[in-house]
Amino acid sequence: MKNQWVEFTATFAYVGRIPKAPGTFGSLAAIPLALLLRMGGDVFYMVSTLLLAAVAIWVAQAYESRSQTHDPKEVVIDEVVGVLIAFTMLSTWSALLSAFVLFRLFDILKPFPVGWADEKLEGGLGVVADDILAGILASLIMQTLTQQTQWFEYF
């Protein structure tokens, strides 16, 4: 039972088993969860994201130990956490789409400190940390843009 729960969670309800671009599909699958969590307000959203990050680290470690592979491609719970972080306190579709694109770019291109975390950290923390950092970078950019411009106010 534990192995089934770990696989179900690590692959985000088996979305990570999609053969092509599992990270992108995992990121897309996070959108309904983000919208659901937004219903609870900003504090609920952020606390839930923090708790999910802790679960993701544990689950990624358990999955990695079982599979004997570092950062298996089917583990997408890390992308889910990264997208949730990128979406923090955003409310328009254009802002969410922009945050999604930024997150995916940072996750794929791995600029510093994302690449550093991907290369240097091991275990479950290593699996999740680069996505947390990619989400934080995307969120920082989006928070700056939404606070300093009117680009995302209307749609």
**pLDDT tens, position by position, 20-65:** 999 999 999 999 999 999 999 999 999 999 999 999 999 999 999 9
Q: Residue 1: which pLDDT band, with cuts at 50, 70 and 90?
A: low
Given a cut of 80, is residue 14 above it in pLDDT? yes
Looking at residue 23, what is its pLDDT?
A: 96
Confidence label for 85 from pLDDT (cuts 50, 70 and 90):
very high
> For the chain, which residues make up each domain, given as ranges?
22-148
Of 67, 99, 71, 95, give the one whose Cα is nearest residue 83: 99
pLDDT at 43: 97
- Identify the band that residue 153 occupies on the pLDDT scale cut at 50, 70 and 90: confident
Measured between alpha carbons, how far is 105 from 50 in angstroms, rounded to an integer? 22
pLDDT at 2: 74
Q: Count the neighbouring beta carbons within 10 Å of the beta carbon of residue 58.
A: 17
